[in-house]
Amino acid sequence: MTKHFQKKLLLLLVAVILATGGFSCKLFPTKQAPAALTKTIQLNYWGVWDEPAFLAPLIKDFQALHPNIKIKYTRFRFSEYEQKLLEAWAADRGPDIYSLPASWLTKYQSFITPQPAQVQLAFEQITKTLGQEERTTVVRGVPIFSAADIKNKFVDQVYEDVVSNGKIYGLPYSLDSLVLLYNRDLLDKAGIATAPTNWDEVAEAAAKISQIDLNNNPIQSGITLGTADNINNAVDIVSLLMIQNGTIMTDKNGRVAFANKAAGKDSYYPGLAALNFYTDFADPLKQVYSWNAKQANSLDAFVSGKVGMTLGYTYQLREIKGRAPKINLGVAPLPQIINSTKAVNYTNYWAETVSHKTANVDAAWGFINFAASQEQVVKYLAQAKKPSALRALINGQKDDPEIGVFANQTLTAQNWYQGKDQLKMEEIFKDLIKNFATTPNQLKLLQNAADKVNQTL
């Protein structure tokens, strides 16, 4: 073929293209993409603990892949969050994506659109034809986690919390757990060289650190334990102590059992023993007396430098560092029962879910799956300084100076099914703690609490 003939053929081809609509015309036209997926979509995303900077890399990368989807993140205070959600839904508006404590997913199941069997999203496809760039919108399925994936790829607790009757109601980016936070200077001053590793050592350390005034009030507290309203995570801590002590929180039939006797023991109630241990720290007659209901909020007291030890999660660790950067802060694993052969840790984490009100189910679930994937969630974890919920990422975090302690606990972190009204359960537990020391029949009080929680299941 001569060069002259090739040139004439090329000119003829260009003429045909121009005659049929110019360079925007597709040589190989595809099926029309669904308008609901290719239109401009605005996703509103609500959360509490995550700063916008934590999510910014994920949102940026997702929007680059799907230019028709824009995501706006709004952060609320925890104290106002639930009410804001309820008000928005009542007005037939609200977020497309929102964060919830994983333990609330059952309570809010009717406000959630579960993940569909498949998710399709619009992509912008760029091709070059005869040296010219052409942009085409195509729609295709995207990878999503199945229930089996959650069972195998996430730590065990996640499946228990987010999957119900084979449907997925949320996905976590991380899995937090309680740890021991301590003021190194106060421990050093009391002659305590290393952080306690078991509860016997905690009791000994608390007695050494605590200073009590003439009115029998702690002016320096060994540890923030014993009361309900002024201790962050009080219900979690009592639940943890019960579980560590062998308490069965719910039986095989799904009924509350934390007031039951230990199997094979006629007179030992592990839940009762756990409550006794906890409330002793607020009893002026006990050697471990360190705290009472008159004290300030436990986190505020720790930040002020008046507390030796407290129990907290990653977001509280971050708050302490922000409010009191000069505190010589230590982070240690959660104390265990002495001579226990198996570590038991406690988790309270959040999951991301999709509202029942959204008109953009695929886009919302598409983003959550994108953000929670192993390849993407590492960006979030690096920003937020949180432990991963994905098994594949745990070992890589264990030596991290900030979150290594949390990561080492992830595989043994658990909680318990607290009913469809978790806030009601917390109210019942707090009343139990407040009345425990002054009630003659403590076992009856515990059994009444169990009956009340049972009604929320």
414 falls within a domain: no
Q: What is the per-residue pLDDT for 43?
A: 97
314 falls within a domain: yes
- Both 56 and 144 in one domain: the answer is yes
The share of the chain scoring above pLDDT 90, in percent, equals 80
Which amino acid, 318? R
198 contact partners, CB below 8 Å, separation of at least 6 = 335, 336, 337, 338, 340
- Both 139 and 221 in one domain: the answer is no
Split at pLDDT 50, 70, 90, the class of 15 is very low
Domain that holds residue 228: 179-348+419-454
Mean pLDDT of the chain: 90
- Both 167 and 185 in one domain: the answer is no
- Both 71 and 87 in one domain: the answer is yes
Quote the Cα angle for 111-384-118, to 5°.
40
Contact 57, 380 (CB under 8 A): yes
- Listed in sequence order, the DSSP H helices in 170-326 are 184-189, 199-209, 234-244, 270-280, 298-303, 314-323
Look at residue 339 and tell me whether its pLDDT is greater than 50.
yes
> Which tops the pLDDT comparison, 207 or 3?
207
284 falls within a domain: yes
Split at pLDDT 50, 70, 90, the class of 33 is low
What total of structural domains would you count in the chain? 2
Split at pLDDT 50, 70, 90, the class of 264 is confident
pTM: 0.87
Which amino acid, 358? T
Contact 307, 223 (CB under 8 A): yes
- Both 370 and 303 in one domain: the answer is no
- Both 377 and 307 in one domain: the answer is no
Look at residue 30 and tell me whether its pLDDT is greater than 70.
no
Q: What is the per-residue pLDDT for 267?
A: 87
- 371-416 residue pLDDT tens: 999 999 999 999 999 999 999 999 999 999 889 999 999 999 999 9
Span 29-49, mean pLDDT?
Answer: 79
- Both 361 and 445 in one domain: the answer is no
Q: What is the per-residue pLDDT for 21?
A: 35
- Both 194 and 230 in one domain: the answer is yes
Look at residue 307 and tell me whether its pLDDT is greater than 50.
yes
Reference 173, options 408, 378, 360, 355; nearest CA is 378
- Dihedral sign, CA of 154, 160, 162, 165? positive
Which residues pair with residue 330 across a beta bridge?
A: 182
Residue with the two structure tokens 């139990």 = 432
Look at residue 315 and tell me whether its pLDDT is greater than 80.
yes
- Both 448 and 312 in one domain: the answer is yes
Q: What is the per-residue pLDDT for 19?
A: 37
Residue 433 belongs to domain with CATH number:
3.40.190.10
- Both 342 and 361 in one domain: the answer is no
Look at residue 328 and tell me whether its pLDDT is greater than 90.
yes
